[in-house]
């Protein structure tokens, strides 16, 4: 079974990239032969080449409208849109040639906002899967080109399929109940027998991109409220790359304004975030509308208490855990006041107070979100698609 995978970026630290690497590891163990398409020769391109995998670098962009929130971006809007369209059209033609040359069985696009795989699969007349990891509009404020309606029409066409990483994302894209769509949760790690214990250190952790959608400012506001009442609140470590400089400037200005320079520590892009998860007293997931959010189950695998906003994929994960375990697997919050109370309680309570919750969280992710489960479900979907394709 030869599958062509279309990636949106080569940054190895992004959620979609990490999920893909876990998925690929599991699928290769089941006999899948991958052909990987990337938009440049950095990061994952080099990593996959060193592994001896077949990798092609083509020039293409996200299939979304350019930003237009500044005067400069408004002026550049049409030229940038035209450039994207031309690049993606050329890349899809190049990809169609690769698909035929490599005798590809299925094209699997790793996100929902890249369209060259879909376009090339139409030319090659082979099945295509959109692996939809995002709401697009609710989580990243993206507008798909040319429209949501057009994207949904693509999903409903012959030889077109989708994998959605949560039920909520599937519903958002109008795919619920369709035979051509599956909900398959991301895999985080291979299953292990029991939770590995780690000695805790006195800090809280935020791990994620520095951008408005991830909710870091809400966390800082809650932290500032908490420290007014509880000077003993644990310091906060921030790990992640800066995606919007203006937003980061606002973050720094707020930290200065409320005098939190000694309590807030920016770590930058951390290579091994799991070490910080293992030692943290808790990880905070303040994202306003997370698609799935690898960070939370990854932390749970590493025995870290989680505090998550009760929305989107975060809520779905917490609901899954409560249904499976009969009790909560993390601390939920709906607003800044609730988050502030959680920060206070975590800072004042002994680590052992949350030990049962941490254990339930581990049992949940070690059952639902393993590499093996993810790969097996996707492989079975591939087999179903190829059986259908034989009959067409």
DSSP string, 70-90: SHHHHHHHHHHHHHHHHHHHH
3-class DSSP state for residue 133?
A: coil
In Å, what is the CA distance from 171 to each residue of 25, 273, 346? 28, 32, 35
Q: Which residues contact 249 (CB under 8 A, 6 or more apart)?
A: none
Query: Is the link from the previous residue into 55 a cis peptide, with omega within 30 of 0?
Result: no
In the block, which residue shows the tokens 């094209």? 107
- Looking at residue 55, its pLDDT comes to 98
- Looking at residue 121, its pLDDT comes to 97
Structure tokens at 144: 């798909």
Fold of 204-368: Rossmann fold (3.40.50)
Other C-beta atoms lying within 10 Å of the C-beta of residue 262: 7
Domain boundaries, the chain: 2-187+370-391, 204-368
Residues in the chain with pLDDT < 50?
A: none
Structure tokens at 106: 């299925």
Cα gap 192→212, rounded to integer Å: 35
Cα gap 168→216, rounded to integer Å: 23
Kindly compute the dihedral angle of the four CA atoms of residues 261, 265, 278, 304, in this order, to the nearest 10 degrees. Answer: 50
Closest to 23 measured CA to CA, from 283, 338, 379: 379
pLDDT in tens, 43-75: 999 999 999 999 999 999 999 999 877 888 889
Structure tokens at 385: 């698609």
Closest to 189 measured CA to CA, from 338, 287, 346, 301: 301
Fold of 2-187+370-391: Rossmann fold (3.40.50)
Structure tokens at 335: 């607003």
| Within this chain, domains 2-187+370-391 and 204-368 share the same CATH topology | yes
- Greatest alpha-carbon pair distance for the chain in Å reads 68
pLDDT in tens, 243-275: 889 999 999 999 999 999 999 999 999 988 999
Cα angle for residues 315, 321, 326 (degrees, 5° grid): 120
Structure tokens at 334: 């709906």
Structure tokens at 129: 């899967």
Give pTM, 2 decimals: 0.91
């Amino acid at each position: 079974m030869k599958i062509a995978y279309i990636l949106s970026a080569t940054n190895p630290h992004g959620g979609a990239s990490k999920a893909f690497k876990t998925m690929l590891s599991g699928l290769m163990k089941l006999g899948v032969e991958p052909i990987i398409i990337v938009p440049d020769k950095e990061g994952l391109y080099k990593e996959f080449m060193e592994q001896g995998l077949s990798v092609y670098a083509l020039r293409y962009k996200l299939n979304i409208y350019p930003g237009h929130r500044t005067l400069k971006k408004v002026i550049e809007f049409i030229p940038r849109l035209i450039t994207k369209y031309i690049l993606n059209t050329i890349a899809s033609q190049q990809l169609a040639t690769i698909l035929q040359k490599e005798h590809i069985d299925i094209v699997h696009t790793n996100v929902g906002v890249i369209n060259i795989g879909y376009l090339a699969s139409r030319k090659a007349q082979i099945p295509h899967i959109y692996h939809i990891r995002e709401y697009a509009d609710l989580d990243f404020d993206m507008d798909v080109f040319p429209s949501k309606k057009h994207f949904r029409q693509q999903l409903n066409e012959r030889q077109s399929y989708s994998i959605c990483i949560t039920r909520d994302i599937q519903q958002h894209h109008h795919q619920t109940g369709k035979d051509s769509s599956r909900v398959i949760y991301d895999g985080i790690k291979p299953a292990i027998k029991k939770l590995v214990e780690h000695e805790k250190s006195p800090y809280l952790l935020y791990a994620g991109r520095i951008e408005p959608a991830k909710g870091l400012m809400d966390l800082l506001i809650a932290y500032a409220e908490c420290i007014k009442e509880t000077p003993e609140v644990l310091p906060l470590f921030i790990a992640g790359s800066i995606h919007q400089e203006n937003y980061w400037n606002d973050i720094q200005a707020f930290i200065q304004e409320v005098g939190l320079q000694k309590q807030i520590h920016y770590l930058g892009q951390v290579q091994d975030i799991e070490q910080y998860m293992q030692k943290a007293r808790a990880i905070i997931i303040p994202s306003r509308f997370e698609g799935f959010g690898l960070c939370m189950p990854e932390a749970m695998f590493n025995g870290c208490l989680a505090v998550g906003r009760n929305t989107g994929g975060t809520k779905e994960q917490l609901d899954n855990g409560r249904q499976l375990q009969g009790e909560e697997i993390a601390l939920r919050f709906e607003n800044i006041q609730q988050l502030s109370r959680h920060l206070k309680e975590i800072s004042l309570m002994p680590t052992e107070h949350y030990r049962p919750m941490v254990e339930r969280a581990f049992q949940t992710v070690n059952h639902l979100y393993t590499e093996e489960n993810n790969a097996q479900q996707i492989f079975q979907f591939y087999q179903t698609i190829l059986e259908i394709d034989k009959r067409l």
